[in-house]
Amino acid sequence: MPSSANVLQVGPLKPSLAETLRTRYGAQTLPTDAAARAEFLAGPGADITAVVTSGRTGVDAALMAALPRLGAVVNFGVGYDTTDMDAAALRGVGVSNTPDVLTDCVADTAVGLLIDTMRRFSAADRYVRTGQWSGGGTYPLTRQVSNSRVGIIGLGRIGSAIAKRLNAFGCTVSYHNRREVTDSPYTYVGSAAELAQRVDVLVIAAAGGDATSKLVDATVLDALGADGYLINIARGSVVDEAALVAALRAGRLAGAGLDVFADEPHVPAELLTMDNVVLLPHIGSGTVQTRAAMEELTLRNLDEFLSSGRLVTPVLQPGARV
């Protein structure tokens, strides 16, 4: 692909993807220094037609406005809440993501995190490594996973894959969505708080963004209760993190398993010392196979846009102004 493709990388990406963008497409990288960025946007930025970014960085309205020829934001990842979709729609800028290819790995992560949190396997590993077991200690009893009541917030592709896996554990699954899923075998519940009140474990698999910001707040956490567990493999923004820390600190929640946080990579210091909390560095899709598939789909979207002006897996097709 010639350098005239005018592709811009925004934010860090998988090294092999960044290298392909540089060598095959002649992509430039948006400077992080404010002065250098302003200089770039006043010059070469005027010719940029496609941006490749990730769900951790995205493209806000100000950057879109500074790229007058921008036609598509190609996103490496399923989440796109860091890209301003209203601004994209107003400007006719297409947005793509990489759905389906990461569903299995993220669902596996959710179930693994749920098991680890309820059985406290990570804490038990530390118990052995620090010599407490050999010193004559008895590790405390934990909670059974099989036959638990599990509530899922967000019964999309990933939420459904999580539910399917939990069926094998004999779990009773219910869910909350913006709307009821037709023909779903699971019980629909009209609010997050009501769902939390009914279950032993609440799993968050909802998309991020303004519509779900702090959806799981103090009220929902109190409904989940002192015997309840929270698992989040979606976006940190969906949880009121301060309320979560307060509930855990006060013993109003039994435990939490978190792969995502409100201000990544920063994690509230209080969580670091809690043995009933399992912390992962946003690795839900972090397998060799899945990241390769995500990279391939990202490049397919970019190629399709550059050749036809369309996207393979659009969230919003280019030119679809509203």
56 noted as active-site residue = no
Q: What is the DSSP string of 191-253?
A: SHHHHHHH-SEEEE----SGGGTT-B-HHHHHHH-TT-EEEE-S-GGGB-HHHHHHHHHTTSS
Other CB atoms within 10 Å distance of the CB of residue 49: 18
Catalytic residue check, 157: no
Q: Which amino acid is at 23?
A: T
Residue tagged active-site, from 19, 264, 270, 296: 264
Indicate if 282 belongs to the active site: yes
**Looking at beta carbons, which pairs linking 55-58 to residues 24 or more positions away fall under 8 Å?**
55/79, 55/80, 55/81, 55/82, 55/97, 56/11, 56/12, 56/82, 56/264, 56/282, 57/10, 57/11, 57/12, 57/82, 58/10, 58/11, 58/82, 58/83, 58/84
Catalytic member of 241, 282, 291, 295: 282
Catalytic entry in 176, 235, 241, 291: 235
Cα dihedral sign for 286, 288, 291, 294? Answer: negative
So which residues are the catalytic ones? Answer: 235, 264, 282
